[in-house]
Structure 1
Amino acid sequence: MKKLCTIELESGTLDYLLDIGKRSNAYLNIRDGVVTVRLPLSGKPSDAERLIRSHEKWIRDKLGSHSERSRLPKSFEDGEVLSLLGRKYTLRIAESAEYREPETEGDTLTVYVAKTMTRADAERLFSRYVYGICEKCVMKAFETYTQRLGLRPKKITFKKMTSRWGSCSSNGSISINVGVVCFEQECIDYVVIHELCHLKYMDHSENFWRLVSTCCPDYKRLRERMKH
């Protein structure tokens, strides 16, 4: 039995794949940013949680490089560097008489903060701006590839994830890491295709990758691109 699960840790939320089957020991591994806990038939979800908690630091160390790939702003400071759709920008925070949509010019992304706004308000509006770009690009990919693959999720959600770019639950729901907005559209397309294919194959078998390649023959290059 394979099932996508979520656990709340001191360091944040972690998605992981729980695999219960014929084996003598329990163990966990990380591959392509995916944490998998494998238990014997006698194992319970609580056993998986204990195993994860006892290895939390090791897991976070292993996944650390993944989270660094997502160059969304961490502190909302003037001069911070971030990435949007594969391009790096320097964040500039400018005071304005009233709120204006952020603007890009060359390698600069300017966020206009109204005099009456608090810092928290400005951060919230900027996050909404980034989420809007992400949603537009992701939904564009879903519109294209749900038709091409003949696979449609029951629900699509957006999250901030630390361990993966997307996830597909056994009930047919797909979650996309908002951090994909840092990458080019072709990378976003790959993530969407990857998760749609999990609606048919909840593993990374040859059949799964064969299905991915029907829509994304260059998936190996894109997967490597998102590792750096």
Structure 2
Amino acid sequence: MNVTITPPDQLQAEGGFSFKYGDEAIFFDRTPRTEGISRILIKVHPDCRVRVSAPVHATDDEVLAAVKKRGRWIYLQLKEFKAQLAHITPRQYISGESHYYLGKQYLLKVIEAPNETQGVKLLRGKLEVSVRKKSSSKVKALLEDWYKAKSKEVFARRLDAMLDQALWVDERPPIRILTMQTQWGSCSPNGRLTLNPQLVKSPRECIDYVILHELCHIAEHNHGEGFYRLMKQVMPNWEVVKVRLDGMAATLLNGF
């Protein structure tokens, strides 16, 4: 398929950028990259947003040329995520729903208990949520708190395990838990890891992959050859694990 680029002046007038792949218009946002990084990074998120991170000095024409070069890949990524989203039913937080934890599915059981403490328990293959009065918003809030608490425990354990492989890390980095719509994790310039609590819904190897990915950024701050060489050393099958996590992303990020 041929790729055509919408003129930059027209796009900026509309508040964004777009290009056409075949007959389909694909829109994307441009965000600035960390100073000193020269590469243009293109990401397609599970909610079908396309984000292009580019150095401040890169012209719009250069950004559009980079997007044009990856047009087929962007189109196929969007096609895959749209197919996933088409089969996702919005959460209602009622008994009988299926929710994930550490890669396994658990049935949700909502129990109305006016005189008992409200909370979440994982019992006999079910996620039991006790509420004083049945309310979808309350069940959602309790589940959100439970996932965040579990993520702190699980991520701390997996970080300790991954540090045995990350020999370049001198001190145990601090972890921040933050719900994000389009990221599993990030690493700040001073080495603090930020992890998405919804990652705790994924299999352990996926959690390990994200933690190792961010630990590699302590040594390699961008996605250059050195970064991928380091990832290959500590997790030879990281690409397979990434594909697995990407395939679950639309489902796992569909709210708590």
TM-score bucket of the superposed structures, by smaller chain:
0.5 to 0.7
Q: CA deviation at 1:224?
A: 0.6
Equivalent residues, number: 196
Q: TM-score, normalised by structure 1?
A: 0.67
Counterpart position of 1:37: 53
Q: Which residue of 128, 150, 160 corresponds with 1:133? A: 150
The answer as to whether partners of 1:95 and 1:113 remain within 8 angstroms in 2 is yes
Partner-residue secondary structure (3-state), 1:227: helix
Q: TM-score, normalised by structure 2?
A: 0.61
CA RMSD of aligned residues (A): 4.0
Counterpart position of 1:211: 230
Counterpart position of 1:124: 141
The answer as to whether partners of 1:153 and 1:174 remain within 8 angstroms in 2 is no
Spell out the pairing of 1:44-83 with structure 2 (5 A cutoff).
65=81, 74-83=91-100
Q: Deviations over 1:82-104 (max 9, x none)?
A: 21110112212111230265333
Structure 1 or 2, whichever has the larger Rg, is 2
Amino acid at match of 1:114: R
Mapped pair 1:164 → 2:171 = no
Counterpart position of 2:63: none
The answer as to whether partners of 2:93 and 2:139 remain within 8 angstroms in 1 is no
Cα pair distance change 1:65/1:197, threshold 3 Å: same
Amino acid at match of 2:220: Y
Amino acid at match of 1:174: L
2 CA distance for matches of 1:194 and 1:171? Answer: 16
Mapped pair 1:95 → 2:112 = yes
Counterpart position of 2:101: 84
Cα pair distance change 1:105/1:187, threshold 3 Å: same
1 CA distance for matches of 2:180 and 2:147? Answer: 15
The answer as to whether partners of 1:19 and 1:36 remain within 8 angstroms in 2 is no
Q: Deviations over 1:152-209 (max 9, x none)?
A: 4653211111222111122322211111111111111111010011111122222212
The answer as to whether partners of 1:166 and 1:176 remain within 8 angstroms in 2 is yes
Percent sequence identity is 24
Cα pair distance change 1:29/1:215, threshold 3 Å: closer
Name stretches of at least 5 consecutive residues in structure 1 with no aligned partner.
Answer: 1-13, 44-57
Specify which structure has the higher proportion of strand. Answer: 1
Cα pair distance change 1:198/1:153, threshold 3 Å: farther
